């Protein structure tokens, strides 16, 4: 355990003891001293009783800060016992995008009841935000930002910013709008500070800026942020009105989330699963995928069955054939990993598709020849039959060529069909390399059977 | 192709024509209008001749901005033709961390010659920065930041910030130091703007802040940034002196880079490879890994060989045995993906190790029983032999149990040995599931051979 983990554990112990003793002062001191995310992590281990005492001893503003940092499960546990009015009180201290996340996880009727209790202005904003899908720009944007009229002078703007600063999330970037409320530029606090007092925002703003529409997929937004080193992205509608902003800390969460999903999908696991999933959840999420794989395995089994009489005559075939399919799978997975990552980073476009495809095909042939030659020689020495070596050499080249082409084409096709390339590519790839691998090798063996016996 | 890609392509065409015509005005207009990262991407396709003309028509400041955004290959091409004095001129417009990245890729003697041409103060900074490994906090930090003495008033501080702002990267966070030059707090521009004019920085600063040491691995830094939603991280030495800062845009690059590496390593590819790698580079990077896999494949082959006489008597074994090993590999990969991702996100600690290990073992037995039962029934109907079905059922449970335990333990052991779990785990896992899978199944078949014939 690291030093930091030990410290956190001691604090957690202290916090729990203070809660048990209903020691309001100690509890609040700990909360003031420790980052809300660390408090949230500690509270994941809390019992319902401890959470109940926590509500009694800690005021709404602090609970709201912890709620913003909590994971979904803790959020539910923290508010499930509260009545709607208490929830509204908590919400007063929270960012709109965090409120929407919490409401999104609630049953429909409860959500409606809570929204109806809100002030009219808030209600409208929340309802608009709830209208966007969770994984779109609209779903991750916040509505706390500063937008100022383009005719403002730098001095007026600075005064306004000073007034609004305590209430809003981002003050380093100010969004400049014209009389039609269209977003026409962005200006940084730095520009305002260094500008002449009388300069208008219009004269110092940057007119070239990246903006997104609320329907854009969050992964695309994260690619823009990472490409252009943005710290905040305005979300605008078709009439160029500013709807909200996306901040870089939310983008980091998106990137981590999408990475986790890609990684787990590649390994044949649901993106929802984590170390914390229960045994039952894990079974439910993994077993279907194993059954899909079982179909592939039986396809390969049927191919082998067709050549049963050939194997009966040369049993060595049974021992060496998994080498052909295994190596095909490995080579194909190499191609697949590069493709899936390139697709995720938006680096692959159709116009540049032919050259790398030819490269992968050549790579399959060359690597297949290299691996096949070594395998062939070893097999020759093991079984004393040169033709068996030649057959495995030829089969290896064919199967690695298939692996390279399939590893390249399958994720692109899935992407074009709007399926997740990370999820389904490997199953199609393994099917191809197993079925073709066994078929080619055993077919060659059958054709040249007299030479093998 | 997306609308944006078409626009970029047209601009690239326009830029190249302007270069060919040596039309200085058009070239500079395009550079002013387009984001430097987009210019850098266009220039990746440029010929050496085009880059030469580019140097003639565009001034150093603009080239420096593009250089900062360029990938390694383009950086080298952009400066390789320049003499040391011209390079120093370009460096005057660049951030120190970007200069160090470029110098780091140069031959040792050339680097030394250029550093010796720098002003004394710059030389010292650059030499210090060059001393840190590329993938540590020190390697990615920049030295452009604002640090102010804690006794400064908010008004004085604001005045200072206005002066320094044009020259530095981050002005939203100001680092507060005491008389011993120790970093004792951070204060945001927002706090300064809303504070009383006479308030000292010491009275408004935040004393609890996250800092890192220069030796910390960049991946650990990125975990801190993502956990605490930081926008900038101070790097301090053991005496608490501020050495530099790490900005969130660099952290996003780190996260993308580390994820690409994990993904490619999982797939058995070097983290260095990309779509742009040449055929020869790809062969050189992938072939060694395929040979490592070949060793595994032959291990499995030897196991099968041991049971050659058994297979000769029941050829059906050859057809169904790949199902046992294949499904073991699939189940193990599921566990592995979750583990590698959890390790990367810093979610796995040794103290919480036993419960999830037992879970994975149970999961292996339960999923093995489910998949094994279905497989057993199908095999029974295919070959009309109930015992073959029972044997595959038993072998499947054993192999999935092995898969679950190995998928869990292998990455943790590699992590403890300071090896990259993403890189080597899958090869050990496949070795285990293949060798044990074939062994268990064929061993059972041999023991119960009379029942199978």
CB contact under 8 Å between B348 and A190, yes or no, is: no
Distance between CA A63 and CA B113 in Å, rounded?
58
Q: Please give the span between the terminal C-alpha atoms of chain A, in angstroms, as a whole number.
A: 61
CB contact under 8 Å between B320 and A327, yes or no, is: no
Q: Which two tokens stand for residue B424?
A: 């080597």
Print pLDDT tens along chain A (453 aa). Answer: 567 778 888 888 999 999 999 999 999 999 988 888 989 988 888 888 899 998 889 988 899 989 888 888 888 888 888 888 888 888 888 888 888 888 888 888 888 888 888 888 888 888 888 889 988 999 999 888 999 999 999 999 999 988 888 777 778 899 999 999 999 999 998 889 889 999 999 999 999 899 999 999 999 999 999 989 899 999 999 999 999 999 999 999 999 988 888 888 888 888 788 888 889 999 999 999 999 999 999 999 999 999 999 999 999 999 999 999 999 999 999 999 999 888 888 877 656 678 889 999 999 999 999 999 999 999 999 999 999 999 999 999 999 999 999 999 999 999 888 888 888 888 899 999 999 999 999 999 999 999 888
The residue written with tokens 């580390």 in the block is B258
- How big is the A-B interface in CB pairs under 8 Å? 294
What would you report as the CA-atom Rg of chain A, rounded to the nearest whole angstrom? 30
A183-188: strand order across its sheet:
A147-149, A173-177, A183-188
CB contact under 8 Å between B269 and A322, yes or no, is: no
Q: What is the distance in angstroms between the Cα of A153 and the nearest Cα belonging to chain B?
A: 17
CB contact under 8 Å between B345 and A291, yes or no, is: no
Bridge partner residues of B233 (DSSP): B246
Distance between CA B432 and CA B86 in Å, rounded?
58
Cβ atoms B323, A352 nearer than 8 A:
no
Quick count: other Cβ atoms within 10 Å of Cβ B365?
A: 16
Cβ atoms A334, A367 nearer than 8 A:
no
Pick A290's closest partner by Cβ from B35, B262, B327.
B327
Distance between CA B79 and CA B171 in Å, rounded?
30
Quick count: other Cβ atoms within 10 Å of Cβ A208?
A: 10
Determine the 3-state secondary structure of B217 from DSSP: strand
Q: What is the distance in angstroms between the Cα of B199 and the nearest Cα belonging to chain A?
A: 16
- Cβ contacts (< 8 Å) between A363 and chain B: which residues? 279, 282-283, 286
- Cβ contacts (< 8 Å) between B322 and chain A: which residues? 297, 300-301, 304, 322, 325, 434
Determine how β-strand A232-236 pairs with β-strand A183-188: unpaired
pTM score:
0.84
Share of chain B above pLDDT 90, in %: 50
- Cβ contacts (< 8 Å) between B253 and chain A: which residues? 226
- Cβ contacts (< 8 Å) between B435 and chain A: which residues? none
Distance between CA B91 and CA A184 in Å, rounded?
34
Determine the 3-state secondary structure of B58 from DSSP: coil
Reported as a single tens digit per residue, the pLDDT across B116-136 is 888 888 888 888 888 899 889
C-alpha distances out from residue B350 to A191, B252, B332, B398, B416, Å: 49, 28, 20, 26, 10
Q: Which of A249, A388, A395, A214 is nearest to A316 (CA)?
A: A388
- Cβ contacts (< 8 Å) between B318 and chain A: which residues? 304, 308, 311, 315, 317-318, 321
pLDDT of B2 reads: 66
C-alpha distances out from residue B17 to A420, B34, B43, B60, Å: 40, 16, 13, 21
Angle, CA B224 vertex, CA B220 and CA B226 arms, to 5°: 115
Q: Most distant CA pair in chain A: distance in Å?
A: 96
Q: What is the distance in angstroms between the Cα of A339 and the nearest Cα belonging to chain B?
A: 8
CB contact under 8 Å between B262 and A262, yes or no, is: no
Q: Which two tokens stand for residue A233?
A: 């992205």
CB contact under 8 Å between A252 and B255, yes or no, is: yes
pLDDT of A351 reads: 61
Cβ atoms B444, B395 nearer than 8 A:
yes
For B294, name the nearest residue in chain A, comparing CA atoms only: A327
Q: How confident is the model at residue B214 (pLDDT cuts 50, 70, 90)?
A: very high
Determine the 3-state secondary structure of B208 from DSSP: coil
Instruction: State the complex-level ipTM.
Output: 0.83
Cβ atoms A170, A144 nearer than 8 A:
yes
Q: Which two tokens stand for residue B126?
A: 């650059």
CB contact under 8 Å between B330 and A359, yes or no, is: no
Distance between CA B140 and CA B134 in Å, rounded?
7
- Cβ contacts (< 8 Å) between A275 and chain B: which residues? 338, 342, 347-348, 352, 356
Q: What is the distance in angstroms between the Cα of B323 and the nearest Cα belonging to chain A?
A: 5
Q: On the CB side of B218, how many CA atoms lie within 13 Å of its CA?
A: 23
Measured in degrees and rounded to the nearest 5, phi and psi for residue A71 equal -80, 170
Residue B350 has pLDDT above 80, yes or no: no
Q: What is the distance in angstroms between the Cα of A190 and the nearest Cα belonging to chain B?
A: 7
Cβ atoms A141, A244 nearer than 8 A:
yes
For B365, name the nearest residue in chain A, comparing CA atoms only: A283
Q: Which of A247, A235, A230 is nearest to A168 (CA)?
A: A247
CB contact under 8 Å between A252 and B251, yes or no, is: yes
Per-position b or e across A223-239, b if 16+ CB within 10 A of its CB = bbbbbbbbbbbbbbeee
CB contact under 8 Å between A311 and B323, yes or no, is: no
DSSP 8-state symbol, B81: T
CB contact under 8 Å between A264 and B341, yes or no, is: yes
Per-position b or e across A166-197, b if 16+ CB within 10 A of its CB = eebbbbbbbbbbeeeeebbbbbbbbbbbbbee
Pick A297's closest partner by Cβ from B275, B311, B323.
B323
Q: Please give the span between the terminal C-alpha atoms of chain B, in angstroms, as a whole number.
A: 61
Residues 6+ apart with CB under 8 A from A113: A84
Q: What is the distance in angstroms between the Cα of B102 and the nearest Cα belonging to chain A?
A: 19
Distance between CA A172 and CA B48 in Å, rounded?
40
Burial of B49 (0-12, 13-18, 19+ CB in 10 A): exposed
Q: What is the distance in angstroms between the Cα of A191 and the nearest Cα belonging to chain B?
A: 9
CB contact under 8 Å between B263 and A231, yes or no, is: no
Pick A275's closest partner by Cβ from B282, B331, B348.
B348
- Cβ contacts (< 8 Å) between B282 and chain A: which residues? 359, 363
Reported as a single tens digit per residue, the pLDDT across B29-38 is 999 888 889 8
Pick B334's closest partner by Cβ from A256, A269, A371.
A269
Q: What is the distance in angstroms between the Cα of B126 and the nearest Cα belonging to chain A?
A: 24
Determine how β-strand A232-236 pairs with β-strand A173-177: unpaired
Q: What is the distance in angstroms between the Cα of B429 and the nearest Cα belonging to chain A?
A: 13
Q: Which of B333, B239, B390 is nearest to A330 (CA)?
A: B333
Distance between CA A392 and CA A441 in Å, rounded?
7
pLDDT of A322 reads: 94
Q: What is the distance in angstroms between the Cα of A259 and the nearest Cα belonging to chain B?
A: 7
The dihedral over CA atoms of A198, B35, A338, A440, expressed in degrees to the nearest 10, equals: 140
Pick B308's closest partner by Cβ from A249, A273, A319.
A319
Distance of CA A255 to the CA centre of its chain: 6
Determine the 3-state secondary structure of B224 from DSSP: helix
- Cβ contacts (< 8 Å) between A367 and chain B: which residues? 283, 286-287, 290
- Cβ contacts (< 8 Å) between A262 and chain B: which residues? 263
Cβ atoms A147, A211 nearer than 8 A:
no
What is the 3 state secondary structure string of chain A? CCHHHHHHHHHHHHHHHHHHCCCHHHHHHHHHHCCHHHHHHHHCCCCHHHHHHHHHHCCHHHHHHHHHHCCHHHHHHHHHCCCHHHHHHHHCCCCHHHHHHHHHCCCHHHHHHHHHHCCHHHHHHHHHHHCCCCCEHHHHCECCCCEEECCCEHHHHHHHHHHHHHHCCCCCEEEEECCCCEEEEEEEHHHHHHCCCCCEHHHHCECCCCCECCCCEHHHHHHHHHHHCCCEEEEECCCCEEEEEEEHHHHHHHHHHHHHHHHHHHCCCCCCCCCCCCHHHHHHHHHHHHHHHHHHHHHHHHHHHHCHHHHHHCCHHHHHHHHHHHHHHHHHHHHHHHHHHHHHCCCCCHHHCHHHHHHHHHHHHHHHHHHHHHHHHHHHHHHCCHHHHHHHHHHHHHHHHHHHHHHHHHHHHHHHCCCCHHHHHHHHHHHHHHHHHHHHHHHHHHHCHHHHC
- Cβ contacts (< 8 Å) between B269 and chain A: which residues? 334, 337-338
DSSP B111-153: HHHHHHHS-HHHHHHHHHHHTS-TTBHHHH-BS---EEETT-B
DSSP 8-state symbol, B1: -
The residue written with tokens 């899978």 in the block is B437
- Cβ contacts (< 8 Å) between B341 and chain A: which residues? 259-260, 263-264
The residue written with tokens 């979610």 in the block is B347
Cβ atoms B173, B232 nearer than 8 A:
yes
Pick A318's closest partner by Cβ from B318, B326, B338.
B318
Domains of chain B: 3-134 (1.25.60.10), 147-247 (3.10.580.10), 279-452 (1.10.357.20)
Angle, CA A158 vertex, CA A152 and CA A161 arms, to 5°: 100
- Cβ contacts (< 8 Å) between B196 and chain A: which residues? none
Pick B263's closest partner by Cβ from A262, A279, A331.
A262
Q: What is the distance in angstroms between the Cα of B381 and the nearest Cα belonging to chain A?
A: 13
For B9, name the nearest residue in chain A, comparing CA atoms only: A351
Q: What is the distance in angstroms between the Cα of B212 and the nearest Cα belonging to chain A?
A: 13
For A383, name the nearest residue in chain B, comparing CA atoms only: B305
The residue written with tokens 């400064």 in the block is B152
Determine the 3-state secondary structure of B19 from DSSP: helix
Reported as a single tens digit per residue, the pLDDT across B296-335 is 999 999 999 999 999 999 999 999 999 999 999 999 999 9
H helix or E strand, kind and range, residue B247: strand B242-247
Bridge partner residues of A204 (DSSP): none
Distance between CA B355 and CA B352 in Å, rounded?
7
**Interface probe with B: pick from A280, A282, A364, A395, most Cβ of B within 10 Å:** A282
Reported as a single tens digit per residue, the pLDDT across B395-428 is 999 999 999 999 999 999 998 888 888 888 888 9
Cβ atoms A379, A388 nearer than 8 A:
yes
């Amino acid at each position: 355990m690291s030093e930091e983990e030990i410290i956190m554990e001691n604090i957690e112990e202290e916090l729990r003891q203070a809660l048990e003793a209903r020691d309001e002062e100690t509890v609040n001191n700990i909360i003031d001293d420790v980052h809300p995310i660390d408090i949230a992590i500690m509270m994941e281990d809390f019992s319902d009783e401890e959470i109940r005492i926590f509500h009694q001893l800690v005021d709404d503003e602090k609970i709201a800060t912890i709620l913003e940092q909590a994971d979904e499960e803790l959020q539910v546990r923290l508010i499930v016992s509260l009545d709607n009015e208490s929830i509204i009180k908590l919400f007063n201290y929270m960012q709109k995008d965090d409120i929407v996340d919490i409401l999104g996880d609630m049953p429909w009727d409860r959500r409606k009841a809570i929204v109806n209790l809100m002030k009219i202005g808030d209600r409208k904003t929340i309802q608009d935000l709830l209208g966007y899908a969770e994984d779109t720009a609209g779903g991750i944007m916040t509505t706390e930002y500063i937008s100022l009229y383009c005719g403002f002078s730098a001095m007026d703007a600075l005064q306004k910013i000073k007034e609004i600063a305590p209430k809003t999330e981002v003050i380093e970037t100010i969004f400049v709008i014209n009389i039609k409320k269209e977003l026409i530029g962005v200006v940084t606090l730095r520009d305002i500070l260094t500008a002449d007092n009388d300069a208008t925002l219009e004269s110092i703003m940057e007119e070239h800026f990246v903006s997104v529409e609320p329907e854009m997929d969050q992964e695309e937004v994260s690619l823009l942020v990472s490409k252009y080193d943005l710290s905040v992205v305005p979300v605008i509608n078709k009439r160029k009105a500013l709807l909200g902003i996306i901040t870089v800390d939310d983008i980091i969460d998106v990137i981590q989330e999408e990475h986790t999903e890609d990684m787990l999908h590649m390994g044949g696991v649901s993106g929802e699963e984590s170390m914390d999933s229960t045994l039952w959840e894990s079974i439910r999420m993994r077993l279907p995928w194993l059954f899909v794989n079982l179909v592939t395995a039986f396809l390969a089994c049927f191919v082998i069955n067709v050549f049963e009489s050939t194997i009966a005559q040369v049993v060595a075939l049974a021992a060496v054939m998994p080498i052909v399919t295994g190596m095909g799978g490995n080579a194909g997975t190499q191609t697949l990993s590069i493709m899936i990552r390139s697709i995720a980073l938006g680096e692959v476009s159709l116009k540049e598709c032919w050259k790398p495809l030819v490269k992968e095909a050549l790579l399959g042939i060359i690597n297949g020849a290299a691996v096949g030659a070594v395998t062939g020689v070893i097999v020759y020495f093991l079984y004393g039959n040169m033709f068996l070596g030649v057959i495995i050499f030829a089969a290896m080249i064919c199967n690695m060529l298939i692996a390279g082409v399939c590893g390249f084409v399958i994720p692109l096709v899935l992407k074009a069909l709007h399926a997740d390339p990370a999820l389904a590519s490997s199953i199609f790839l393994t099917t191809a390399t197993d079925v073709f691998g066994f078929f080619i090798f055993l077919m060659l063996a059958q054709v040249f059977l007299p030479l093998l016996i």
